[in-house]
Amino acid sequence: IVRDPFVVFPSTMNLWRRLYRLQGLQEPKFERLEEDVLDTYLHLFERIDGGRALVAASHFFEVRYEDLIADPLGRLRAMYRHLVLGDFDRVAPRVEGYLKDARDYKTNRYQLRSEERATIAERWKPVIERYGYAVGVN
């Protein structure tokens, strides 16, 4: 699952801050946090790309989060077909039940400062372009 980098960045910053506060053995200073998040994200995609050659194309399926949310049954059906996971119609009722239960779920909303947005656009440009994400203001 690939998600809009302009959403991933503030969400990851929030996650790491919370984890450091809750799980750390000392008071976190977050001195390199932004840089670590920027580097780790690119490293993740480098590793995924490096691993693609090791996996048959029929065993690898990518989906944009936004597309999954817009059409969960359609995207999951496509995934089942691509990965040859069996008859999606057998699991569709359970997926529909889950979607019904989760219909009121709302994702967190974060605001980016213009300088953060510019940094993300510059540093994560290959991912932004590759998956067709907009650089415009959120």
Which tens digit of pLDDT belongs to each residue from 7-62? 999 999 999 999 999 998 888 889 999 999 999 999 999 999 999 989 999 999 99
2: helix, strand or coil = strand
Given pLDDT bands bounded at 50, 70 and 90, which one contains residue 127? Answer: very high
Is the per-residue pLDDT at 137 higher than 70?
A: no
Residue-level pLDDT at 41: 96
Residue 33 half-sphere exposure, CB side, CA atoms within 13 Å?
Answer: 17
Cα separation of the two ends of the chain: 21
The Cα–Cα gap between 76 and 15 comes to 27
Residues 74-125 have pLDDT tens digits of 999 999 999 999 999 999 999 999 999 999 999 989 999 999 999 999 999 9
pTM: 0.86
